[in-house]
Amino acid sequence: MSSTTSTEARRIGRRASTAAAVGTAIEYYDFAIYGYLAVVLAPLFFPSEDGLIGVLATLTVVASGFLARPLGGLFFGRLGDRKGRRAVLMATVAVMGVATVLTGLLPTYAEVGVLAPVLLTVLRIAQGFSAGGEIGGAASLATESAPSKRRGLFGSATSVGIALGLAGAAGIVGTVTALTTPEQLASWGWRIPFLIAGPLLVGAVLYRMRVEDSPVFQKMIDTSEPPKAPITEVVRDHRRSVFGVVGVAYATMTAGGLSSVYLLVHLSAVLGYSLTWALWLIVLIVLLPIGLIPWAGALSDRYGRRTVLTVGLIGFAVLAVPCYWAMQQGSIGLAVAAALLLNVPFGICQGVIYTLYSELFPTRVRYTGVSIGFNIGGVIGSGLVSVIATSLVSLTGNTLAPAFYLLFAALVGLAVVATLRETSRIALADDAADRATERA
């Protein structure tokens, strides 16, 4: 390959990775706000004499958004494999942004009664539908556009976007919480993070408009017809890959949720720490993996996706119970150290998984395959993680119960990874080779 060609390949890879990261950051900012504000929203939309019951109801709405993800994945995945990654990714971020802004304009239960939680649930489902089409497209675009020997590094941009979105949401919510009284936060302050999504949406759409579709996808379109029924093709020819993505997504999203977003509920509602303090801790623990993600992705280019992912999952299994035990000792310093330590394996896993998902499928059905597997894993993983963890604490009275659920998820992940093939040397442009490898 000539130096000019190499330079052009890197330029395309950087722009695609940046587009994936920017759009995914906005998607996850929008999607995470609700989770971070769950404790605040509970009495506004689900008033109850038992505060924990209200929190559980609010978290159930979080789960409804995840239940809509597989439908969004099927819908947008099919479009993405037939029409291209770029156009569909602009649509997903637009739907997410509009639903988020409308959430910030909703009346509360005190104003319109039961209509308030109904509208909240509908908008959350719309968010989930949009999010269901985001990761498959972002991962496909970033991985397909990357130089062949650096797919792990460039593909990790999707995870960087997720971390930035989660941290941005926690930071905005933390700032609003710090600058308002509890009464102001309950009256109007909770709306601000949702409304900020408006200008962020415009910026994300404008940037994605500047990015071309991946060279791998364009080559496929030039040389063959796009699949007429990508969903059927995935289910018929790539079941093993789908199950692999489901298992890894369940394990990493469950472990990641118990190490980040759920900690806000655990620290504030279960252990009694300050909500504002807990929010800023979430910012720290979500930002921590950003430095680890590209490093882990680059390591996977050298040592393989399975090896790096296995290291991350073992880290979760070893640290789960000790870190949760440390967080409940009443020391803020110990809680911070434990939460940060628990996110080291999270950063390692995040640096690998989206590239791995993309490499498990051929170009013609990559968007659909990743979307189906990732979103099914998401429903049973992070979609239910906060509800399950909070319910375990409520039913058992044991504040260590979420740690054992985290341990279980990590062990499931290790078992699934052991069944997967190594994908780091597969040539994405060669669909025939991909299909041959799939059947092996």
Position 240 pLDDT exceeds 90: yes
Lowest pLDDT segment from 229-238, 262-271, 368-377: 262-271
**Is residue 5 domain-resident?**
no
Q: What is the mean pLDDT of the chain?
A: 85
| pLDDT on residue 1 | 41
Flag whether pLDDT at 61 surpasses 80.
no
In a domain, 359, yes or no: yes
Domain extent, residue 305, equals: 15-439
Task: Name which residue leads in pLDDT, 279 or 143.
Answer: 143
pLDDT band at 437 (very low <50, low <70, confident <90, very high): very low
Reply yes or no on whether the pLDDT at 162 is more than 90. Answer: no
pTM of the model: 0.84
In-domain check, residue 321: yes
Least-confidence region, from 55-64, 202-211, 236-245, 355-364: 55-64
pLDDT of 27 strictly over 70:
yes
* 283: CB partners within 8 A, 6+ apart: 167, 170, 171, 174
Residue 31, CA distances (Å) to 3, 102, 198, 227, 330 in order: 41, 13, 14, 31, 30
pLDDT digits (tens, 9 = 90+) for 189-231: 999 999 998 898 888 888 887 778 888 888 888 888 888 889 9
Flag whether pLDDT at 173 surpasses 90.
Answer: no
Q: What percent of the chain has pLDDT over 90?
A: 35
Q: What's the pLDDT score for residue 440? A: 39
- 243-257: pLDDT as tens digits: 999 999 999 999 988
CATH number at residue 31: 1.20.1250.20
Q: So what's the pLDDT on residue 297?
A: 95
**422 Cβ neighbours under 8 A, 6+ residues apart:** 304, 305, 306
> Which pLDDT band holds residue 23 (cuts at 50, 70, 90)?
confident
| Local confidence band at 147 (pLDDT 50, 70, 90 cut-offs) | confident
Q: How many domains does the chain have?
A: 1
**Residue 434: is its pLDDT beyond 70?**
no
Examine residue 4 and state whether it is found in any structural domain, yes or no: no
Give percent above pLDDT 70 in the chain. 92
Determine the pLDDT at residue 174.
83
Cα dihedral sign for 277, 321, 376, 417?
positive
Is residue 227 included in any domain, yes or no?
A: yes
Question: Is 1 within the bounds of a domain?
Answer: no
Q: Which residue has the higher pLDDT, 24 or 382?
A: 24
Residue 7 lies in a domain: no
3 assigned to some structural domain? no
pLDDT per residue over 69-101, tens digit each?
A: 889 999 999 999 988 888 898 889 889 889 999
Assigned token pair, 157? 């941009």
